[in-house]
Each structure stands twice: as structure tokens, then as C-alpha cells.
Amino acid sequence: MTRVPLIVPAPAVLEVGRSEGFLFCGATRVVVESPGADASDPGLEDVVRRFAADVEADTGIGLTVSHEAPGPAVQVSIRGTDLDAVPVAAGMRADGASITGAADERYGLDVSDERILVWGATPEAVHRGLTSLRQLVAASAADGRALVGAVRVLDGPRFAWRGLSLDVVRTFHDVETVERVLDMCSLYKINVLHLHLSDDQGWRLEVPSRPALTEVGSAGAVGDRPGGFYSLEEVAGLVAYAADRFVTLVPEIEMPGHAAAIFRSYPELGPRVAAADLPSHGAAVAAGTLDPTRPEVWRFVEDVLDAVLPQFPQSAYVHIGGDEAFGMDHDEHAAFVERAIALVRDRGRRVVGWQEIARADLDADMIVQHWIDIRAADAETLRGRVPDVFLDVLIGNLQSAVDDVPRALERGARVIVSPSARLYFDRPHGDASTDDLQNGVRARLGMPVYPPATIRSGVEWDPVADVEHVTSDDQVAGVEAALWCETVTGRDDLELLLLPRLPGAAEKAWSAAGSTDWDEYRERLACQSVVWTRRGWRWYRADTVDWA
Ligand code: TNX
């Protein structure tokens, strides 16, 4: 039996009890407590069913959902008792819901010998509490039972936006793969999956008014990897799958750079130079940008927004990319971004974009995603390894990037913290694996231009204290990791970069301020592998952790 409660991300308040704890097994009932006679919250019923299915997938223990408790039970209810002790989250919700209202995520979890109580003011809060319980059950499960040690937890997130950005362009990930990623997000209380749906190498969703985007633009990916796209039905399925786990899917339609797949689909929107004269440096450089002076470009952008927004009804935001618009001058880029912002606003959504959008005129309701933590001087070390033309453009972007976060904050916009050194999961693994085959994969996985990153470096930092120009939680919308897929050849590679990194990103987004204590975290992380293995997720056996 485990005495240290092994919850990732770490809860706000946790008291270990003295008694032995609750014996969880197939006979355990989950009882939905109704406030009125038999009028229980339908949202809560769904949450409890989700919990039972997850526990079964994690541990093999099947539970009974009921309205009465003849024996030992997990009792689930909507109430706010004692939760004022937990600070209100900072940041913004991707679904636009109220942090203190419908989307209050603070929960309580109390385990004694006789029963387990899980409560919160909203079904979402109860879901977060049951997620902690899931982890406790999985950590001690053996032979169809689990002795969950007595504990009292009062918990809630530090930030409301806890995300993962997933590149489905450089490698197309099928629906089942994305569902597996959503399962991982849910297990670590990550509540945003940002889908990078368009880039130079492909276009990944249907726009019925612009059929060439999928007929032509979806073909191919990096190298000879197969392309693909999500049909309208598949997007609807993913949105529902995510919603069932309290995750919001946020679409990113990249503009004005990274637009080569658009030009392949609609050559009339393309740059007016011969293709042969465009720089082509594989994955890294956009082959030209959308031209804001051409009316047909704006008709295209409107058609795309009109088709994409309704497919993501839960997201209050649209990610418009905005990064690396190489070849565009400053004013042209700013003008493009400003017009794109206006079009998104006309359609009732808010804008999030990569930090380069801060070079345009921003408003306080926007979110700027900070990723550039590379100094121009450091990029110089790439000279000789990257074509000079490209390097000069890149260095120019890095020089301008220094002012992006201060500009955004001056406007009152909030920042999503995604510094590449800490939260880019496409860095090579800095830890060796205990598995020799994985050490072979390690040599080719992750962008070779980046220094490798260890699991430890992923948690020993703070998203406010260690991000330049950011001085308080209130300036931050949240924390988001990013997985770009230039080196990711398929699902196995993807999972080997997500696990064990994803729980670390979740810890930064959810848990209290400060650097995480590595020795304490390692223990909590080590037992996570039981569920990963049980679910058939591939995970990287970093030799710095004593895996369970
Ligand atoms: C920069 S991060 C990019 C991506 C690449 C990534 C590789 C960002 C906004 N743009 O297009 O895939 O580097 O790490």
C-alpha cells in the first residue's frame, strides 16, 4: 500500500489520514447524491459513468453506478463545502466559461475507511476530483482491488487554460490517435487540445466551399508520410469525445505564413513569384505568405472561418497562427493580422495567436502565445547548419520577438506560456532510456537543432517567475505544451514524446507556484507508468525515474 498520495498534478491542499483507508473493488458503488428527491444533475451522471469506464480501463476494476448506497461507496455530489480554502484560478478558459461559475474546477476528495466523498460546485469540478481518485486507485490496484489510503484533498487549478498544442500536419494523426491523446490530457487535468490544422505540408479539415483544400491540400505530409484530413463527422466526434472529458478543442488555422498547402490547392492565392525562386528548406520555412492586398485572399479567409468555426462550437477562441510570416514586412504582417482579427470578431469569437501577433494592434480580450525564448545571438550558432538566407530571416524574427510579450501585456492581453526550452515536446529526450530499443529511437526523435531536454528540466521552473516580462499570474491565460511533428513519424513516436513529459506540463499549469521538487515529483511520476502500460500507451523509460 502506498502512503504518499501519488497525484499528478500535485493538489493544492492534501492531508494524509491516519486510518488504513478504503478498500476499492468491483463491489464498490458510485453513488450520485441528488440535491432534491430524485432530481440529480444529469451532467453529474455522465461524469460518474466516465469515471467508471476510466477506472475499468486503468485497472480492470468494474464499478456499479447507483442512486443508493447499501454498502461502502464513493459518494459524489454537487456542493461547494470548504472549497473557499482553495484559491480561484487565474487565466482564461478556452470555452469562455466562468471560472467562478459554471467552470469552477475546485473540488474536495475525502477518503476514510467507510467511504469516499468527492464534491465540487460543478460537474466539471467533480470530474477533476474523480480524476485524482482514479490516480489513487490505479497506484495501488492489484488483483481487482485497491486499498486507497485515508486522505483529504482540497484542490483547484492555478491556471484556467492548461493546454497541449498538437501538430497534425507534419504528420497526420488519425482520429484514434487524437482520442488517445485526449485520454492522456484528461488523466492530467489538461483542458485544452489546440489542433494545428494547416501548414505548408498539408490542410487537415473540410471546408465544403473550398473543396480543393482537402482534395489537393490534404495530400502528403513531411517526407513520404501519408496525408489525410478530418471529415466534418470526425471533427464532430472528436469535439464530443473531448467534451466528455472536459477538454476544449481549439482550432488553429495558420495565416499568413506556413500557407503552402493553401497555394497548392488554390494557386491563384499563391505568391507571384516562380515556385523555383521560393526558399524551400523542408519543414522549417513557409513558401511565401498570403497577400493582404488581394481581395481573393480575404474571400478565402472568410470562407475558411465560416466553415471552421461551426465545427468547433465549444471554443470561444480561434487560433490564427501569425508566426514566422517570413518574407512579409512588419507593416504588411500587422495589417494582415488586424484584418484577420476583425473577421474572427465579426463571427463572435476571440483571437489567440503565436506571439508574433503582438506586432499588430491588439485588444485586451486576446491571447498571445509566447514561444520564442531563443536569443538571436544563440541562433548564430546555427550558421553553417542552416542556409544563410533562412538564418537571417530567422534572426530578424528573434530580434523582433523580444518586444512581443511586453507589447501584449501593455495592451492588457494575456499570455499563454509555451517557452520552447520548457514546453516544446519536439526536443530530443535528454535522459537516456532504460530500454535499448528506445535509445535507438531517441537518436532520431526530436528536432536536431534543439538542445535535448530532460524530464527534470520540464518541471524545475515556474511559468511566471521564470518567464521574462511576466510578473503575475493575472497576466497569464495559462500554460500550453507544444508537439511539432517534423521528426514524429507516427503514433509510437508521438507517444514517446508525450509520455513522460505531459504530466510535467500539467503540473506547471495546475499546481501551486514555484519550481517542482524533483525528488518528490519523481515518485509521483514513477507510478503513472502502471496506467500507461495498462492502456497500451507507448512511453519513454527515462532512466532518471524509478518506474513502478
Ligand atoms: C517553429 S512554434 C514553428 C513550427 C515548427 C517548430 C518546430 C511555431 C509557432 N512555429 O512551425 O514546427 O518551430 O519546433
- State the SS3 of 217-272: CCCCCCCCCCCCCECHHHHHHHHHHHHHCCCEEEEEEEECCCCHHHHHHCHHHCCC
What is the per-residue pLDDT across 478-526, written as a single tens digit (0 to 9) for each? 999 999 999 999 999 999 999 999 999 999 999 999 999 999 999 999 9
Mean pLDDT of 233-260: 97
Taking 50 as the threshold, does the pLDDT of residue 1 lie above it?
no
pLDDT bin (cut points 50, 70, 90) of residue 288 is confident
Mutate to test the pocket of ligand 1, among 324, 326, 424 (most ligand atoms within 8 A of CB): 324
Q: What is the pLDDT of residue 283?
A: 39
pLDDT for res 386: 82
69 pLDDT band (50/70/90 cuts)? low
The pLDDT tens digits of the residues spanning 370-406 come to 999 988 888 888 888 888 888 888 898 999 999 999 9
CA 285 – ligand 1 centroid, Å = 10
What is the grid cell recorded at 195?
A: 489542433
Q: Tell me the CA–centroid distance for residue 518 and ligand 1, in Å.
A: 28
pLDDT band at 66 (very low <50, low <70, confident <90, very high): confident
* Cell 507544444 belongs to residue: 482
The grid coordinates listed for 431 are 535522459
Q: Ligand 1 in contact with 252 (CB < 6 A)?
A: no
pTM for the structure as a whole: 0.96
Q: What size, in residues, is the chain?
A: 548
* pLDDT score, position 50: 97
Question: Which one of 281, 374, 484, 485 would you pick to mutate in the ligand 1 pocket, going by the greatest count of ligand atoms within 8 A of its CB?
Answer: 484
Largest distance between two CA atoms of the chain: 76
Pairing relation of β-strands 145-148 and 22-25? antiparallel
Q: Is the CB of 484 under 6 A from ligand 1?
A: yes
Q: Is 354 in the pocket of ligand 1 (CB under 6 A)?
A: yes
From 61-75, 116-130, 298-312, 397-411, the region with the lowest mean pLDDT: 61-75
Give the DSSP letter of residue 493. Answer: H
pLDDT tens per residue across span 176-220: 999 999 999 999 999 999 999 999 999 999 999 999 999 999 999
Asked if 324 is an active-site residue, the reply is: yes
Model pLDDT for residues 352-367, shown as the tens digit of each residue: 999 999 999 999 999 9
For the chain, helix, strand, coil in percent to 5 are 35, 20, 45
Residue 116 has pLDDT above 60, yes or no: yes
How high is the pLDDT of residue 282?
A: 42
* Residue listed under C-alpha cell 532512466: 543
Cα 169 to ligand 1 centroid, rounded to whole Å? 12
Of 276, 258, 284, 255, residue with least CA distance to 202: 258
- Work out the mean pLDDT of the chain and round it to a whole number: 94
Query: Which atom of ligand 1 is found nearest the CA of 485?
Result: 12
Which three three-digit cell numbers place residue 35? Answer: 440535491
The rounded distance, in Å, linking the Cα atoms of 227 and 481 is 24
- Considering only CA atoms, which residue is closest to atom 9 of ligand 1? 323
pLDDT, tens only, 431-462: 999 999 999 999 999 999 899 999 999 999 99
Q: Which residue has its alpha carbon closest to ligand 1 atom 8? A: 323
Distance of CA 75 to the CA centre of its chain: 30
| Percentage of the residues of the chain whose pLDDT score is greater than 90 | 86
Residue minimizing CA distance to atom 12 of ligand 1: 484
Q: Is the pLDDT of residue 3 over 70?
A: no
As a three-state string, the secondary structure of 44-56 is HHHHHHHHHHHHH
Amino acid identity, position 525: L
**DSSP letter assigned to residue 18:** S
**Residue 324 Cβ < 6 Å to ligand 1:** yes
Q: Of 402, 433, 421, give the one whose Cα is nearest residue 505.
A: 421
User: Over the stretch 72-108, which tens digit does the pLDDT of each residue have?
Assistant: 799 999 999 999 999 999 999 999 999 999 999 999 9
pLDDT of 285 above 60: no
Query: Given this model, what pLDDT does residue 284 score?
Result: 42
Q: What is the pLDDT at residue 276?
A: 54
Confirm or reject: Cβ of 326 under 6 Å from ligand 1: no
Is residue 327 scored above 90 in pLDDT? no
Q: Check: CB of residue 222 under 8 Å from CB of residue 170.
A: yes
Position in ligand 1 atom list of the atom nearest CA 371: 2
Q: Which residues contact 497 (CB under 8 A, 6 or more apart)?
A: 425, 426, 429, 445, 446, 483, 488, 540
pLDDT at 36: 53
Tell me the CA–centroid distance for residue 437 and ligand 1, in Å.
Answer: 28
Write down the pLDDT at residue 110. 98
Range scoring the smallest mean pLDDT among 319-333, 334-348, 410-424, 453-467? 319-333
Specify the ligand 1 atom closest to the Cα of 482: 2
The active-site residue, picked from 324, 480, 486, 507, is 324
Average pLDDT of span 150-155:
97
